[in-house]
Amino acid sequence: MSDREDQLVGEFPLIPKQERAQLKRDLLLKSGHELFILKGYEHTTAKEIAANAGVATGTFYRYFSDKRQLLMSLLEDQIEMLMPPEPKWGVSDPESTLASLLEAHDKRIKEMGMQRVLPELLAKDTEFAEVLAAAKRKIFTRILSGLTKAYAKGLTWKDLDLNTVTWSLMTLAEHAPEKVKQCGIVTDYREVAKVICRLIFPPEVIKNLQSEVSTVEKE
Amino acid sequence: MSDREDQLVGEFPLIPKQERAQLKRDLLLKSGHELFILKGYEHTTAKEIAANAGVATGTFYRYFSDKRQLLMSLLEDQIEMLMPPEPKWGVSDPESTLASLLEAHDKRIKEMGMQRVLPELLAKDTEFAEVLAAAKRKIFTRILSGLTKAYAKGLTWKDLDLNTVTWSLMTLAEHAPEKVKQCGIVTDYREVAKVICRLIFPPEVIKNLQSEVSTVEKE
Amino acid sequence: MSDREDQLVGEFPLIPKQERAQLKRDLLLKSGHELFILKGYEHTTAKEIAANAGVATGTFYRYFSDKRQLLMSLLEDQIEMLMPPEPKWGVSDPESTLASLLEAHDKRIKEMGMQRVLPELLAKDTEFAEVLAAAKRKIFTRILSGLTKAYAKGLTWKDLDLNTVTWSLMTLAEHAPEKVKQCGIVTDYREVAKVICRLIFPPEVIKNLQSEVSTVEKE
Amino acid sequence: MSDREDQLVGEFPLIPKQERAQLKRDLLLKSGHELFILKGYEHTTAKEIAANAGVATGTFYRYFSDKRQLLMSLLEDQIEMLMPPEPKWGVSDPESTLASLLEAHDKRIKEMGMQRVLPELLAKDTEFAEVLAAAKRKIFTRILSGLTKAYAKGLTWKDLDLNTVTWSLMTLAEHAPEKVKQCGIVTDYREVAKVICRLIFPPEVIKNLQSEVSTVEKE
DNA sequence: AATGAATGAGTATTCATTCAT
DNA sequence: TATGAATGAATACTCATTCAT
């Protein structure tokens, strides 16, 4: 049914204009997301994205200046998901907490499905790489501040550089999902969590923290 | 200049044919290397590689069946460099040893300059990803075997999974060079080495190993 | 010009979309036809066909997957024309009938203009050769069945193989148009028809048939 | 062994220069012939012809200005073979004679193997088409003269145009080898010969000629 | 706003021909 | 003469983007 007919028959336009536009934009984003994951960024064409979204090629360009911009919009929505969460140390058994955080993070990354596309982009798109680097710096600061507090409480190793520990922590957390591909071993988040915790806390601290928790739990 | 004239005017410093061909091949490899780093693999054309090497387009295809093959040749030369060296634990101060190994590895990677290109390839070229994964599995086994020996000697943490430690170790070593970009802090290999060592050895083991070394040095 | 203006300024002779597309397709077919005849199939490029049709290269590929497909479309329209018509023997003066059939056939072939291109295709394109061969076999069967009926009526030579006569008949009809080029003599369809008839009928049969006709005409 | 050494050791050049050159030329011709038949003219490259002949690419261009010239040389040698022989009518049983002539001609054509290439050339190469047409006109004249003599002796049909008969004769002879492909029937030269003879001679003439022969044979 | 036909610059690859050795 | 590496114009086809409807 055309716009013209709409007006002739006096049908009430159920969806407000802006909302309808937003709908198309979302359709396009979804379509792009699917295809980028399926075929890679470079090998997806604007025409395909439009067709897959059920709109005309030209419509794509009404909502996005180009393919790259669609991708950027996609990433803006998702970049938060890439960020590992900041754990609160010294509150509960750090190993269990971390293990479940890692697993949850991994899950979200997988749901997002953009891992396949990101490396291609990082390599090619300087601007995007910078956006991501900035995000990482932000999370770095957050984690570092957490560790600094733990350090002040005397919970962490005294002889390790906190900056380096923070970086190691992020690096391991970020790459944990790839463990299988690289080494042929299934990722056991509990073990990764133990290793990461060892980077931060001396074993006896962990024990104390764990017993505190169980004490609390028993009470 | 004819053959006859050659003899009249005496020796002309001719480069043997094979050598000349090798020269061109090398020129092309070098040119491809430069451009892949500069513009990324996908955005470099065979024509450009040839032009940048100062030869005609057709010449490119005499030496390489296509762009991908040139890249593969490039990588064959360099894949060894990607492999972190296997350290001998318990022989000398592990932290210093590891620090210098990391630094050397990082240096080679930087010389190679392919970091920018690799992620793009891994995402796109399944075959290449498999080659690299295989190489990584190999190095994984080597490192694990080293750690197992150290474990047998009672040098390592007793409560950490050696597989996971090995993976962490490789991951940190591999990504150490990116530390700057990601966190804005200059990579201090000494600190990274200390962190990695902490993953493997309890602090007192390190101390013992270091004192042994200094004892030997003093004698 | 906007939709709104359209209505203000009155009717603008818009060609419906589909028709316009058909128009372009036809332009391209015509252009391809011209160039194939002018330069041969192999030496005509898609780009040229497009340029000659006054459209962009890409437009060519919107309507045809490639050069070969355009040619096939061209031939589909024309293959019927290649088929010599099946004459009804014994109904009227066979020589006159045949002569006019030959002339008409020749005319159509010339209009089609593809003679120059066909040999090239037959040599190169096995699939096409088979299509044409199948068509020829079909017409062969039709003609043979006509001759068999004439044979049953005792109209034909008794000592000639009907298969061979059929083949000869087709061959002569097919190549009649080339007579000029090959021998420098203008094609007189009447004479070719007489020759072909002699292959089929003894002279006295022809005479009888002709007198029957004139008898009927006189009545 | 190089030319230089040849001269130093005083070895006697067994093959005279010219002859050696002729040898290479022949090798190239043979190689081109093979490949043209195998892959078609357009799809054979000069490099391949040279390689297949066991010489360098450049050598090809010493002996032939280009691919086309090689082909022309090839055809010059073979064009005679394309010419159907001129039969002497009225000397022996015309049907048998013609049958064996046709068979021999067909055989030579097949040996020559160029049928696959000729149509491609005729379509593309005007000059070549003219050369061939000229040759055909020559043979046309020869055959026509034979027929005229037979006509003078009262051997031929009186009501058929000799030009047209000549052309029909040539056309049928030329295309006889294709009979199988076109109609799915094996070529029986005896039947084709009978048909062709019927075009020329009334049946009773043939009978007379045949009986004469057997009379002569009996004597 | 929406459409999708049209555009044409851009890409990988081939091959006839030249020319330094 | 012979070589074969080098050349670069040419070709088929794609796709981001525009624009008339």
Tens digits of residue pLDDT in A62-84? 999 999 899 889 888 877 666 66
What is the pLDDT at residue A87?
A: 67
Instruction: Give distance CA C57 / C1' F11 (Å).
Output: 12
Q: What is the pLDDT of residues A33-64, one digit of tens each?
A: 999 888 888 889 999 999 999 999 999 999 99
Largest CA distance in chain C: 82
- Residue with tokens 């609390």, as numbered in its chain: A216
Band the pLDDT of C90: cuts 50, 70, 90.
Answer: low
Give which of D160, D198, D195 is closest to D176, Cα–Cα: D195
| Assigned token pair, A18 | 């802006």
To which residue do tokens 């796109």 refer? B124
- CA distance from start to end of chain A: 68
Q: Within a 10 A sphere around the Cβ of A63, how many other Cβ atoms?
A: 20
R_g of chain A, CA atoms, integer Å: 23
Q: How far is the CA of D29 from the C1' of F17 (A)?
A: 53
Say how many C-beta atoms besides its own lie within 10 A of residue A195's C-beta: 23
Q: Which candidate, D198, D98, D190, D155, places its Cα nearest to that of C200?
A: D198
Does the pLDDT at position A10 exceed 60? Answer: no
pLDDT for the residue D42:
84
Question: Quick one: pLDDT at residue C83?
Answer: 67
Confidence of residue D38 (pLDDT cuts 50, 70, 90): confident
Who wins on pLDDT, D30 or A19? D30
| Contacting residues of D for C163, CB less than 8 Å apart | 183, 185, 191
State whether C194 and D159 contact (CB < 8 Å). yes
Assign D215 a pLDDT band (cuts: 50, 70, 90): low
Give the confidence band of D7 by pLDDT, cuts at 50, 70, 90: very low
Q: Quote the longest CA-to-CA distance of chain A.
A: 79
| Residue B162 forms contact with A (CB below 8 Å) | no
Q: Which run of H or of E encompasses D22?
A: helix D17-39
Assess whether pLDDT exceeds 60 at residue B137: yes
Residues 59-118 of A with CB under 7 A from strand F: 60-61, 66-67
Does B have 3 or more CB contacts under 8 Å with C? no
Model confidence band, residue B85 (pLDDT cutoffs 50, 70, 90): low
Give the closest residue to F13 (Cα–C1′): C61
Residue B142's closest chain A neighbor by CA? A183
Using one digit for the tens of pLDDT, what is the confidence trace for D95-135?
A: 998 898 888 888 887 777 777 777 777 767 777 778 788 88
Furthest CA-CA distance within chain B? 82
Task: Quote the distance between the C-alpha of residue C128 and its chain's center.
Answer: 15
Residue C82 pLDDT level (bands cut at 50, 70, 90): low
pLDDT grade for C12, boundaries at 50, 70 and 90: very low
pLDDT greater at residue C139 or residue A1: C139
The answer, yes or no, to whether residue D202 has pLDDT greater than 50, is: yes
**Backbone torsions φ then ψ of A116, nearest 5 degrees:** -60, -30
Q: Does C120 touch chain D (CB under 8 A)?
A: yes
Amino acid B90: pLDDT: 62
CA D19 to C1' E18, whole Å = 26
Closest residue by Cα to the C1' atom of nucleotide F18?
Answer: A58
Judge whether A74 and A32 are in contact, CB under 8 Å.
Answer: yes
For strand F, list residues 33-92 of chain D whose Cβ lies within 7 Å of it. 55-59, 61-62
List all residues 6 or more positions away from A79 whose beta carbon is below 8 Å from its beta carbon. Answer: A131, A132, A135
Rg of chain C taking only CA atoms, in angstroms: 24
D-interface mutation test, from C164, C166, C194, most D Cβ less than 10 A away: C164
| D42 nearest nt, CA–C1' | E15
- Which residue has the least CA–C1' distance to nucleotide E2? A59
| Contact across the interface for A120 and B116, Cβ inside 8 Å | no
- The mean pLDDT of chain D is 82
Instruction: Give residue C144's identity as a one-letter amino acid code.
Output: L
The set of residues, in sequence order, having a beta carbon less than 8 Å from that of A180 and lying 6+ positions away, is A186, A187
Opening angle at CA D129, ends D127 and D131, nearest 5? 70
How confident is the model at residue C7, as a pLDDT?
41
Per-residue pLDDT at A16 exceeds 80: no
pLDDT at B24: 92
Higher pLDDT, B110 or B100: B100
Q: How does DSSP classify residue D185?
A: -
- CB distance from C159 to chain D under 8 Å? yes
- pLDDT value at B46 more than 80: yes
pLDDT of A2 higher than 50: no
Task: Report the pLDDT value the prediction gives residue D17, as an integer from 0 to 100.
Answer: 64
Give contacts of B195 with chain A, Cβ < 8 Å: 160-161, 164-165, 168, 199
Helix/strand/coil for A160: coil
In 3D, which of D98, D202, D90 has the Cα closest to residue D157? D202
Closest nucleotide to A65 by C1' from CA = F17
Both tokens assigned to A67 = 């393919």
Task: Return the sign of the alpha-carbon dihedral for residues D110, D113, D118, D120.
Answer: positive
Residues near B201 by Cβ (< 8 Å), separated by ≥ 6?
B89, B94, B150, B155, B156, B157, B209
Number of C-alpha atoms within 13 angstroms, CB side, residue A122?
20
> Is B43's Cβ below 8 Å from some Cβ in A?
yes
Q: Is the pLDDT of residue C213 over 90?
A: no
**C137 backbone dihedrals φ, ψ, rounded to 5°:** -60, -40
Phi/psi at D130 (5° precision)? -70, -40
| Mean pLDDT, residues B81-107 taken together | 78
pLDDT of residue A6: 44
pLDDT bin (cut points 50, 70, 90) of residue A135 is: confident
Check whether B159 has a pLDDT greater than 50.
yes
Say how far C8 CA is from F18 C1', in Å.
26
pLDDT confidence tier of residue B88, bands split at 50, 70 and 90: confident
Mean model confidence pLDDT for chain B: 82
Q: Taking 90 as the threshold, does the pLDDT of residue D163 lie above it?
A: yes
Are the C-beta atoms of residues B120 and B42 closer than 8 Å to each other? yes
Contact A209, A90 (CB under 8 A): yes
**Record: contact D164-C116, CB cut-off 8 A:** no
Cβ contacts of D183 on chain C, cutoff 8 Å: 136-137, 140, 163, 166-167, 170
pLDDT attached to residue A167: 94
Instruction: Give the model's pLDDT for residue D159.
Output: 95
Does residue A3 surpass a pLDDT of 50?
no
Cβ proximity of B199 and A198 under 8 Å: yes
> Which range, A146-150, A185-189, C133-137, D6-10, is most confident?
A146-150
Please give the structure tokens belonging to residue A154.
């005397």
Instruction: Using pLDDT thresholds of 50, 70 and 90, give the confidence band for residue D70.
Output: very high
Substitution target from A114, A165, A182 for chain B, most B beta carbons within 10 A? A182
**What average pLDDT does the segment D23-42 reach?**
91
pLDDT in tens, C20-46: 778 899 999 999 999 998 888 888 999
- pLDDT of amino acid C85: 66
Chain B nearest-CA residue for A184: B137
Over residues C140-166, the mean pLDDT reads 93
Residues of D in contact with C139 (CB under 8 A): none
Chain length of chain C:
219
Bigger pLDDT: B22 or B152? B152
Rg (CA), chain D: 23
- Domains of chain A by range and CATH? 3-76 (1.10.357.10), 83-218 (1.10.357)
What lies within 8 Å, CB to CB, of B207 at 6+ separation is none
pLDDT tens by residue, D175-190: 888 877 667 777 788 9
Q: Is the pLDDT of residue D213 over 80?
A: no
Computed over every residue of chain C, the mean pLDDT equals 82
State how far the alpha carbon of B115 is from the alpha carbons of B130, B168, D198, in Å: 17, 20, 85
The pLDDT assigned to C218 comes to 56
Residues C94 and C211 sit within 8 Å (Cβ to Cβ)? no
**Which tokens sit at D84?**
């159907």
**Which string of DSSP letters, residue by residue, matches C57-108?**
HHHHHHH-SSHHHHHHHHHHHHHHHHSPPPP-TTSS-HHHHHHHHHHHHHHH
